[in-house]
Each structure stands twice: as C-alpha cells, then as structure tokens.
Amino acid sequence: MMSLSILTGCGSMKNMSREDRAGIGAQIGAFVGWLFGGAVGSAIDEEVGGDIGAFVGTAVGGVAGAQIAANMSDEVKVEKRNPGNYAPVSHVLLPDLRIEDILLEEDSITRDNKIDAGEICRISLVIVNNSFQEALDVVPVVKIKKGKYLSLSEPVKIARITRDDRITYNVTVQASPKLPTGEAVFSVYLKEGRGNGTEEETFTVETQGN
C-alpha cells in the first residue's frame, strides 16, 4: 500500500515512457520491500529472519512496483477520455428543400400571363424535398421587391414535407385598379423549423394597367 501511494504521488512519471516508469517503479518497490521485509523477518527470527525477509521483500517489491508504475499512464488516459466531443446530430442527413417551379394562375378571362389591374390571381410554388430527412414546419415567404398597388396573402405553415411529397403552395395576389403597366418583382424563400431552408430567389411578372 505504501509503494502504491509513493508511485501515484509522482506526477512527473506520467510523462515517461512505459519502460522508464517500470524501471523507477522496480527500484522504489525493491527498496520498500527490503525495508519492510527485513523488519518483518527480524521480528520473526532475530538471527536470520531479517536477511531472508529483506531478500524476499526486495524481489517481490521490485516486481510489484514495476507493474504498478508501468500501468499508471494507461489509467490516466482512460479517465481523461471525453466522449462528449462527438455530436451524433452532425451525422444526421438534412432536408434538401427546392422550389421546383413558379407559376402564375389567373382567374380573369384574358389569361394573358400578366397581373391585370383589379385582378385577383395566384402565384403557385411547387415545393419538393430531395432528401430522406423530413422537413418540418416549412413556411414559404413571398415578398414584393418591386411594384405598387399589389397585396399578398399571409404565409401558411406546411407541417411536414417528405421525399415522396410534391407540394403545390398558392399565394393570392390582389391587384388594385390603379396598377400601372410594367412589371412586378417578387422574392421567395423557404423557412424550415430547424433552420434548413433555402436561399432567396426572385422572379418577375408583367403587369397590365387599365
């Protein structure tokens, strides 16, 4: 027990090679074995007990000390292992959302692929997920970047989009009778509940005034 206490108290031994630690441990163990072996032997037999005890104690103590010292570094490495450095979530596939198509759907008789003054029409987005990981709480965000006298419906959340889904999402566009002839520029991007959305992209639609 005393040899174990001495060995584990020597902090500098942790940086030594296994062979060096074994050598120093053997020396310390032999010394402690000689000291206690001699004392125990003398107590049993004053004439020859001390010499025999010292001899046996030196041999046994040297072997034990070498083994304890050699294994010190291995124990420290095990204790210092930190499995928390690995993040299992980093290995999970992320959803791959895409806006596959953007269409203008008109309710007017003209159907001229333009937004006419006073017309109510729809911008249809075709949304797909190209990965095996589900996309959750997806919100298509459509904004008017350029153009006046236009208003858009409020965004609606899509609870889940899987690889097998092909979602057609409609945004209602209401044009005022004051809408002038020209063009309107819209932007669109997808927000996903865990932050895996899409980059903003823009598209242009012609407008027709009265």
| Nearest-angstrom CA–CA distance, 28 and 61 | 8
The single residue listed with the structure tokens 């669109």 is 188
Residues 126 and 190 in one domain: yes
Residues 110 and 152 in one domain: yes
Domain-ending residue, one of 81, 107, 136:
81
Residues 24 and 110 in one domain: no
72 and 12 Cβ atoms separated by less than 8 Å: no
The number of distinct structural domains making up the chain is 2
Residue 150 lies in a domain: yes
Residues 57 and 137 in one domain: no
3-state helix, strand, coil in the chain (%, to 5): 35, 35, 30
Residue 139 lies in a domain: yes
Domain-ending residue, one of 25, 52, 81:
81
Residue 87 lies in a domain: no
Q: In a 10 Å sphere around its CB, with 0-12 CB exposed, 13-18 middle and 19+ buried, how is residue 31 labelled? A: middle
* Listed residue (114, 175, 171) closest to 149, CA to CA: 175
Question: Strands across the sheet with 135-146, in order?
Answer: 115-116, 201-208, 182-191, 135-146, 158-161
| Nearest-angstrom CA–CA distance, 199 and 94 | 15
| H or E element at residue 207 | strand 201-208
Residue 181 lies in a domain: yes
DSSP 119: -
Residue 50 lies in a domain: yes
Residues 198 and 107 in one domain: yes
Q: The domain that contains 125 carries what CATH number?
A: 2.60.40.10
Give counts: helices (H), strands (E), the chain: 4, 9
Domain-ending residue, one of 51, 81, 111:
81
Tens-level pLDDT at each residue, the chain (210 residues): 444 444 444 444 445 555 655 565 556 555 555 565 555 555 555 555 455 555 545 555 555 555 554 555 443 333 333 333 333 443 457 899 999 999 999 876 777 889 999 999 999 999 999 999 999 999 999 999 999 999 999 999 999 999 999 999 999 999 999 999 999 999 999 999 999 899 999 999 999 998
Print the domain residue range for 103: 93-208
Let me know the angle formed at the C-alpha of 29 by 23 and 32, rounded to the nearest 5 degrees. Answer: 145
DSSP of 19-32: HHHHHHHHHHHHHH
Residue 177 lies in a domain: yes
Residue 97 lies in a domain: yes
Residues 99 and 58 in one domain: no
Residues 175 and 107 in one domain: yes
Residues 110 and 50 in one domain: no
Residue 88 lies in a domain: no
User: Model's pTM, two decimal places?
Assistant: 0.55
